Amino acid sequence: MKQLLFILSAMMALQASAETKQGNFTLNGKVTDTETGFVFIRNLTKQLPDTVRIVNGEFKYSGQTEPGTPYVVTDEANKYQLFFAEPNANMHMILKRKDMQVTFIDGSSAQEIFRTLLIAQNPLQGVVDQLQQESSTPGVNRDSIQQLILQINNQRNANFYRFLKENGNSEVAAFLIYSSISNERGIDANLADTMYSFLNGPAKTCFYGVETQKSINKLRAVTVGYMAPDFTQPDTTGKNYSLSAFKGKYLLVDFWASWCGPCKGEIPFMKEAYAHFHDKGFEILSVSLDDKREAWMNALRQFKMPWAQVSDVKGFRSVVNELYPIPSIPKTLLLDQTGKIIATDLRGPALDSKLEELLGK
């Protein structure tokens, strides 16, 4: 009985702690270029915005939020300005509605943290914008301009890393890293890991800290040098195959579908590699992203691939898409005997060449 009371007390303490993280904030807005209309305000951790009316050139918004939560004030054309709210904040904003330009905002310590980054980056962005305009001028030395832009971008990167180092415990930092990973295609798992390493305390446990970790895990799942996450899928008979069961072999994980022409074009090369290297320790696991079972079965009957074929027949809603970022197919990963990714997207004869390198001719 004493143990039960202790557990209940602990649960109540956790609940009270969670509740203290949330609280109401208010945003008092003044619009300088219109007396009426509306704006949309959206908590970015939620799907839908709130519509807020402008009356006599002013608007007021209140909502429940957690520390360092990102919001946007936006119009019907999706022009927006980002700001950060927190519980018990009483914020003030001056807005030009036509251009959705925030000329003043205060009242939130999280916003002040964000402002330190803006102060460092905005002037550099202005110079880059000007240089890009100049590059379209006839006769200008574009190579020289690109060199200048590269130098400025290096400075912007240095500013960002300094910001992360100084504010690694802030939810603002977690959101900015998440945005970088989500919006910039050039970021790989190694760079994402470097940025994430700056986070600590509440920045790791907040909504965007958790989402950042999920995003990094997905990047790792298709990056050379990282372990491929395990999963289990059934074959056509219902027998389950797990990725981990293939350890000890070089394994090609092939994400494909019956409707994918380039995927089917790779099958002859995979058949050739399988025939040549299977006895030397090479396996293939084909994971179909079909969402129609009969189409998948017809393709298997047509191509007669002599290796394991699995699918939950849920298309891009498959459980594997929770683990691996697969925006398009074909997608292949070559794993070593430990399950580590050693190559990706080997097309045509490149697969055979890589296997010769690993297993001999």
The per-residue DSSP string of 248-313 comes to: TSEEEEEEE-TT-HHHHHHHHHHHHHHHHHGGGTEEEEEEE--S-HHHHHHHHHHH---SEEE--S
Task: Name the token pair of 298.
Answer: 């017809």
What does the pLDDT profile of the chain (361 residues) look like in tens digits? 334 333 333 333 333 334 447 899 999 999 999 999 999 999 999 989 999 999 999 999 999 999 999 999 999 999 999 999 999 999 999 999 999 999 999 999 999 999 999 999 999 999 999 988 888 888 888 889 899 999 999 999 999 999 999 999 999 999 999 999 888 766 788 899 999 999 999 999 999 999 999 999 988 999 999 999 999 999 999 999 999 999 999 999 999 999 999 999 999 999 999 999 999 999 999 999 999 999 999 999 999 999 999 999 999 899 898 899 888 899 999 999 999 999 999 999 999 999 999 998 7
Q: Which of 220, 251, 273 is the last residue of a domain?
A: 220
* Residue 324 maps to a domain: yes
- Residue 339 zone, left/alpha/beta (φ > 0; ψ -120 to 50; rest): left
* Residue 187 maps to a domain: yes
Do 214 and 248 share a domain, yes or no? no
* Residue 117 maps to a domain: no
Q: Which of 220, 243, 262 is the last residue of a domain?
A: 220
pLDDT, residue 327, reads 81
Do 215 and 239 share a domain, yes or no? no
Do 212 and 269 share a domain, yes or no? no
Q: Which of 107, 127, 158 is the last residue of a domain?
A: 107
* Residue 341 maps to a domain: yes
pLDDT, residue 81, reads 95
Q: Locate tokens 């905002």: which residue? A: 105
Q: What CATH number is given to the structural domain containing 95?
A: 2.60.40.10
* Residue 268 maps to a domain: yes
Residues whose CB is less than 8 angstroms from the CB of residue 261 and which lie 6 or more positions away in sequence, other chains included: none
Which residue stretches of 304-348 are H helix? 320-323
Q: What CATH number is given to the structural domain containing 263?
A: 3.40.30.10
Interatomic CA distance for residues 337 and 359, integer angstroms: 12
CB 61 within 8 A of CB 107: no
Do 171 and 197 share a domain, yes or no? yes
Number of domains in the chain: 3
CB 230 within 8 A of CB 243: yes
**CB-based burial, 146-185: b 16+ in 10 Å, e otherwise:** eeeeeebeeeeeebbeebbeebbebbbbbbbbbebbeeee
Rounded to 5 degrees, what angle do the CA atoms 293, 296, 301 make?
125
pLDDT, residue 165, reads 96
The residue segments making up the domain with residue 174 are 141-220
| C-alpha count within 13 angstroms, C-beta hemisphere, residue 122 | 6
For residue 230, give the 3-state DSSP assignment: coil
* Residue 7 maps to a domain: no
Interatomic CA distance for residues 83 and 71, integer angstroms: 5
Do 323 and 239 share a domain, yes or no? yes
Do 337 and 242 share a domain, yes or no? yes
CB 306 within 8 A of CB 235: no
Which one, of 224, 170, 164, lies nearest residue 198 by Cα?
164
CA dihedral 55, 59, 62, 65 (to 10 degrees): 150
Is the omega angle on the peptide bond into residue 49 within 30 degrees of 0, that is, cis? Answer: no
Do 346 and 242 share a domain, yes or no? yes
CB 242 within 8 A of CB 310: no
